[in-house]
Homo-oligomer: A and B are copies of this chain.
Amino acid sequence: MASRKPAADGVPAATVRPRLTVMRDVAKLAGVSHQTVSRVLNNHPNVRAETRERVLDAMRSLNYRRNLAARTLVTRQSDTLGIIGFETTLFGPASMLYGIESAARDAGYMVSIASVRDLDRRQVLEAVDRLTQHSVDGVIAIAPKQSVTHALAQAPPSLQCVAVGGSGESDAAPTVSIDNAAGARLATQHLLDLGHATVHHAAGPADWPESAERIEGWRRTLYAAGAVVPRVEHGWWDAESGYAQGRAMADDPNVTAIFCSNDRIALGVLRALHEAGKRVPQDVSVVGFDDMPDSGFFVPPLTTVHQDFGELGRRSLALLLEHMTTAPATDPPPPHRVLLTPELVIRTSSGPR
């Protein structure tokens, strides 16, 4: 797909522009100056009540809509926020996106989205650039990798950026995320408490901080309990990967408990166990992560770590807004990092050894 304009060579001229009503029209009808109309629109206090009414009437009767492009041109702010999205077809990112958008609307902002296929520096900067050209007032990056926050640090300093999801480790940009290590600890400890000698782990992709932090939390918990730490295979976030990892584990008689890095992986593990003739939870216990809407309807219903993606989105928006409205010198700086705590939801896929 190429350029949509047929080269400005000849004049298109086919498009006749219908003149929309502008402030001047409203002003004329109301018998005031355009500036007074502007004042009414922006809720400026110094307008006589009677005048304001007259202007509002005129706006209504002309069905006036203000031209935000003109406003943006002079005020340099667009009431639009940019989102850098990655893998937004996954449930988590999609939910965050929705959380951000609906909170943004309540705050009077529009949301523009720039997806990237890979999270390398070049693509992220390119996305920032596109958003900048459209003069967004701030950026939220759904950013599960370190490279993103680093790239974000290279954005023009006047542009406020916040990262959501992934790791909270980076200093490069304010970050909102859940405490993945704590979630992993919850899951692992739960299984240990049920009497399992150790807990195996079906991990997500190696280069996602979510995955790394969950491994770390799992490993620390085992270590603290003096349990053996089994080795880990990496995969993608889907059931296929869980199935592959699960098949390997199903044949190992030492495996009695498996903590999965997300619910989809758990789904694959459940199927692998089922095929191998292992009963869950009698023979092997399984715990997931995310608590996706349908996880309670797996066979058997999945014990998992619940996280609220929508809340993650809303909080990241709130943080961005704080950073945008805070004057650097005067106010105390808003928090640099927000960490949400996940909860364990116990269903029937986990049981005593």
Contact = CB atoms under 8 A, between A and B. Distances in A.
A68 B132 CA distance: 9
A95 B90 CA distance: 9
A103 interface: yes
13 contacts: A8-B44, A65-B132, A68-B134, A94-B97, A98-B115, A105-B130, A113-B113, A240-B294, A240-B297, A242-B297, A267-B297, A270-B299, A271-B301
Given A69-B70, A102-B117, 9 more contacts: A8-B43, A8-B44, A69-B69, A80-B134, A85-B98, A89-B94, A101-B114, A240-B294, A268-B294
Interface in A121-174: 129-130, 132-135, 158
A18 to B, nearest CB: 6
B112 A112 contact: yes
Interface string A231-247: 00000001110110000
A9 interface: yes
Interface residues of A, number: 79
B133 A66 contact: yes
Given A68-B134, A113-B101, A294-B239, A107 B4 contact: yes
Contacts of A17: 76
A224 interface: no
A84 to B, nearest CB: 12
Interface in A284-299: 293-294, 296-299
Contacts of A66: 133
B42 A133 contact: no
A119 interface: no
Given A14-B329, A114-B105, A114-B110, A297 B271 contact: yes
Contacts of A85: 98, 101
Nearest to A69: B72
B113 A111 contact: yes
A108 B321 contact: no
Contacts of A72: 69
Given A1-B103, A297-B271, A299-B274, A7 B321 contact: no
Given A106-B1, A297-B239, A133 B65 contact: yes
B73 A73 contact: yes
A81 to B, nearest CB: 10
Contacts of A267: 294, 297-298
A342 B198 CA distance: 46
B239 A293 contact: yes
A80 B110 CA distance: 12
Interface in A1-52: 1, 3-4, 7-9, 12, 14, 17-18, 42-45
Contact of A243 (B44, B129, B297): B297
Interface in A153-208: 158
A78 interface: yes
Contacts of A114: 101, 105, 110
A242 to B, nearest CB: 7
A4 B297 contact: no
Contacts of A223: none
A321 B89 contact: no
A325 interface: yes
